[in-house]
């Protein structure tokens, strides 16, 4: 390329390299006027690496529909990075999910009652809410102490509220009971899935808050593969149409619907409530991972 004209018309010396093959491009070696003949694929590939460095796995460049380029969102990138169909399906299912799961700890926005009917909630290390029992009267429904927070309701979404019952202690084999619940704004209507620690039982009754009113949806330890040993979870689910389910979730992902009903009200809060079925003298029940998810 000798003889290139400058703006003043005099020939300028060229520093462009001599190509060694077809499809090569001159690439600057740095400051100055030295270039190296480089394969076109290496130039494009190096540019992509520069653009995508630090991006999540699966990120790629796409047209933005306005004559320019952009990169895929985190949700789309996760789908593209999936190693198989199952992983891709999980990534697709996660897109659009709003998960609310602050740690069960002071300063995280939970509201905890004081001592009621001899029962008190406390926060323990490791995202644990502990219900401590002392001698007290028979207490069911939402009469016991609660630990809860507000639920922002979207009538077009599906919801699930989940918690995992953990370790429990009890004197004389009496029940250490707690319930996972949702309620309306005035605490006049609610739905509760109950846990009895010493017996390792999940059940949905028999008190006034749940539809049906009778002792129902019982799941005992060892039934259907559920150990109920501190690794299985309990869950409340509902749909935009108002179908409601009380569900057990196994540590392996196994689920069992214990009872079904209807929602019938606008949920305003979710949380845990203590209950007693005996004249308890001492005992504790731990829970972890209290969360609420909405999607759709």
Distances (CA, A) of 203 to 174, 207, 283: 17, 11, 20
Q: Return the top range by mean pLDDT from 64-78, 164-178, 218-232, 259-273.
A: 259-273
Of the two residues 88 and 150, the one the predictor is more confident about is 150
Q: pLDDT digits over 115-129, tens only?
A: 888 889 999 999 999
Under 8 Å between Cβ of 226 and 250: yes
Tell me the percentage of the chain whose pLDDT exceeds 90: 33
Of the two residues 5 and 22, the one the predictor is more confident about is 22
pTM of the model: 0.67
Helix ranges, 10-146 (H): 40-52, 74-80, 85-94
Q: Return the top range by mean pLDDT from 7-11, 156-160, 216-220, 250-254.
A: 156-160
- Check whether 155 has a pLDDT greater than 70: yes
Under 8 Å between Cβ of 202 and 217: yes
Which residues face 286 on adjacent strands? Answer: 130
Q: pLDDT digits over 34-76, tens only?
A: 777 767 666 555 566 666 676 677 677 666 667 676 777 666 7
CA distance 291 to 235: 10
Sign of torsion over alpha carbons 225, 207, 274, 181: positive
Q: Residue 112's pLDDT is what?
A: 93
* Confidence band for 141, pLDDT divided at 50, 70 and 90: confident
- For residue 61, how far is the Cα from the chain centroid? 28
Q: Residue 185's pLDDT is what?
A: 96
* Domains detected in the chain: 12-94 (no CATH), 98-295 (2.60.120.200)
Q: Over the chain, what is the mean pLDDT?
A: 78
Q: Residue 24's pLDDT is what?
A: 65
**Choice among 169-173, 231-235, 239-243 with the minimum mean pLDDT:** 169-173
Q: Residue 5's pLDDT is what?
A: 47
């Amino acid at each position: 390329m000798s003889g290139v004209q400058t703006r003043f018309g005099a020939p300028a010396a060229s520093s462009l390299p001599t190509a060694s093959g077809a499809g090569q491009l001159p690439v600057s070696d740095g400051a100055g006027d030295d270039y190296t003949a480089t394969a076109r694929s290496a130039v494009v590939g190096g540019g992509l690496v520069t653009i995508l460095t630090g991006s999540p796995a699966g990120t790629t460049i796409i047209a933005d529909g306005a004559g320019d380029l952009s990169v895929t969102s985190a949700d789309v990138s996760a789908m593209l990075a999936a190693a198989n169909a199952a992983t891709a399906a999980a990534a697709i299912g996660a897109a659009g999910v709003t998960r609310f799961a602050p740690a069960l700890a002071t300063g995280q926005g939970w509201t905890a009652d004081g001592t009621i009917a001899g029962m008190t909630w406390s926060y323990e290390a490791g995202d644990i809410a502990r219900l401590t029992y002392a001698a007290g009267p028979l207490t069911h429904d939402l009469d016991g102490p609660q630990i809860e927070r507000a639920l922002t309701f979207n009538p077009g979404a599906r919801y699930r509220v989940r918690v995992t019952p953990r370790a429990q202690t009890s004197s004389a084999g009496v029940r250490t009971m707690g319930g996972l619940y949702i309620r309306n704004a005035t605490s006049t209507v609610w739905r509760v899935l109950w846990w009895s620690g010493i017996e390792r039982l999940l059940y949905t009754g028999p008190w006034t808050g749940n539809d049906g009113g009778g002792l129902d949806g019982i799941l005992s330890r060892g039934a259907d593969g559920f150990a109920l040993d501190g690794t299985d979870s309990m869950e409340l689910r509902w749909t935009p149409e108002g179908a409601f389910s009380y569900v057990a979730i196994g540590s392996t992902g196994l689920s069992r619907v214990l009872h079904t009903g209807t929602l019938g009200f606008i949920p305003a809060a979710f949380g845990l409530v203590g209950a007693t079925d005996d004249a308890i003298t001492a005992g504790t029940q731990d829970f972890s991972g209290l969360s609420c998810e909405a999607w759709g």
